[in-house]
Chain A
Amino acid sequence: MKLLLLVILFLTPQFLTAQDTLRGDYRVILQANLGLSQSHIVRTTEVDKAEYSPLGFLRTLRLIWRPDHLLGMGVETGILRVSNLIVKQDASLPTGTTLELDAIPALLIFSMEKYGIEITSGVGMYNYRVNAALNDNEITASTQWEIGWMLGVGYAYPISRSFSIGGDFRYYAIPERQVSLTSLNAKVQWQLWY
């Protein structure tokens, strides 16, 4: 059923006739975001005593091409802290072992903006990475690419012809890892080309 819906949605625009074929101006926008995120993750790690935090900072950059119609597209990358854990006491792991889990998105994003309100969705890959530092300085760093997606909604208020400031709410998902993140961000937007 979902697949059928997808096919219909995908094909529908092909049957719609555009009102005009002449293209107008376009804009290229660079967006920097800084926010706080909370991960939602199926926890399976059993440590006797540990400090665990699903909270972290989110730093991302977006480059968006906005043509003369509603739909823009671009790319997004950055670094998302998924969680970190510090072992305080455990039978197997040395006290002080630190485990940090991050994800670096490499997403193709599609974005609609009207009256400063922006809706964004993205699909692509996440470079999922763990840093495990044992207290004897033995560090394990390991990475793996995973498919994922994101959704976001935000608002940008123009403070000049080139700059806007605003905020957004985002949802990132890495289904293979059963990990999702929700985040609240502040954003600065710079029109590179208009």
Chain B
Amino acid sequence: MTINQLRSCIFILTILLISWQLGACNSELRIIVPNTEIVAPALKGTSAIPNISRKLIEGVYAVQQGKARFGDTVILKHDRESLSIFCQKNSTYMVLRSGMKDSSILYAGYWRNAQSPQTGLCTLEIRNKDGAGDILQTIRPQTLTIRGAVGGSEVQPNEPLILEYVRPLFERKRERTDGKFWIIAHRGGGRNSDRLPFSENSTELIKFAGKLGANGVEIDIRLTKDGIPVLYHDENLNSRLVDGEYMVGAIGNYTFAQLQVLCRLKNGERIPTLDDALRTIVDSTNLTSVWLDIKEPAAIEKIIAMQKTYIERAQLLQAAGKRDTLEIFSGLATDEIYQAFVAHPEHLQIPSICELSISQTQKANSKVFAPRWTLGSLQNEVNSLHSENRRAFVWTLDQPEFIVQFLNEGNYDGILTNYPTVVAYNYYIRR
């Protein structure tokens, strides 16, 4: 074989290896949740914990055992029947189902690192003598200790974890917003790349957002070919967001019926309509704000009609004591969307979030101004908006160090984030 022939062979081999590399680039973004059936027997025979007792358990806890995995302090917060624990170390959180039995309070579920695939199982218990007796009688106990175990994802947890109640959760004292701070989960709870239990922009993830510490969600709205507003982020159907061999090109090229049959979100859910999503939020969550990220100006008319319908529905449920207040905002992210919104005759009465400028926020009578985080804390501008009875949310803050910085130095009323668990920890831990 001549040198030239050898060169040719090596070149072809190189091309083959590049091809092999290309083939390997299609990484699977499947969900990561351990098999919670392993710890489910811990809750066998339990009944639901009364809401008032659940509130007594919420708070800041010191980690007595388990610091290596979870850090020195954790936050405990309920979302309906679930308990979420947000940890200091490695952006770790836990999602646990709860129950009570024989004067004990029991939890079983899993822990997960928000920014890596590390996960495992967890069981916790508040024994009668550790404070459960008082809590179930709706008395705040002198001391409250939670004992349990954590471990890997396929075996019964056996590493001890002991948490001791320190103080209640931080609450902002501000009349204008009833002390409320908005932790808004991006894309209904987070991105597919973070391998959450459900696909981004799905109704299932929206229902889960509260367990991640969010009290609001941002969802992306596009129109199908037959004009139905659906939740979808990208302009094109792609393997990052959907499975479906016949799904090629823009989502707007397909009718809703075609999408329902031919397309599944990454975890198998169907692409939801805006109608489905808002009904889910109003009827099945405790979320208090919805940020509709409108991707197409043509969708404005239909979105505003739905916004009005579901604001009324939420108000009726609130009046009946069945849910908290709910705000639904049209998001004005581009000049095209803004122009289409202010052309609507009722735009001054329709709640909106303006991402563009303060003058456009005022002109559209937007309740919220939402600057990109890279613009900094904008202290003066935010204070000026507060004096006009408007609020300011910052987007999209994901890095823990910046989240802490904005919470400490900024005067924002809310943070849009892909990691609501991290914002929740750093917000509720404050004094």
Residues of A within 8 A of B (CB): 2-3, 5-6, 9-10, 12-13, 16-19, 41-47, 69-71, 82-83, 85, 90, 92-93, 99, 101, 110, 112, 119, 121-123, 128-130, 132, 138, 140-144, 147-151, 173, 175-179
Contact = CB atoms under 8 A, between A and B. Distances in A.
B220 to A, nearest CB: 19
A169 B245 CA distance: 24
A101 B254 CA distance: 15
Given A69-B5, A121-B19, A140-B225, A101 B239 contact: no
A173 B22 CA distance: 9
A142 B253 contact: yes
A93 B258 contact: yes
Interface stretch (B10-18, B66-74, B141-149): B10-18
B26 A85 contact: no
17 contacts: A13-B7, A13-B10, A42-B243, A45-B262, A70-B8, A82-B245, A99-B246, A110-B11, A110-B15, A119-B12, A121-B12, A121-B16, A132-B246, A151-B16, A173-B23, A175-B23, A178-B239
A69 B245 contact: no
A5 B249 CA distance: 36
A177 B249 CA distance: 12
Interface residues of B, number: 47
B19 A69 contact: no
A17 to B, nearest CB: 7
Contacts of A147: 22
Interface of B: 2-26, 225, 236, 238-239, 243-250, 253-255, 257-258, 260-264
Contacts of A13: 6-7, 10-11
Contacts of A151: 16, 19
B26 A178 contact: yes
A112 B8 contact: yes
A92 B261 contact: yes
Contacts of A144: 236, 238, 248-249
Nearest to A41: B245
Contacts of B5: 69-70
B4 A70 contact: yes
B245 A45 contact: yes
A13 B246 CA distance: 43
Contacts of B238: 144, 176
A138 B255 CA distance: 10
Q: For B4, B246, B249, which residue has the most chain A Cβ atoms within 10 angstroms?
A: B246
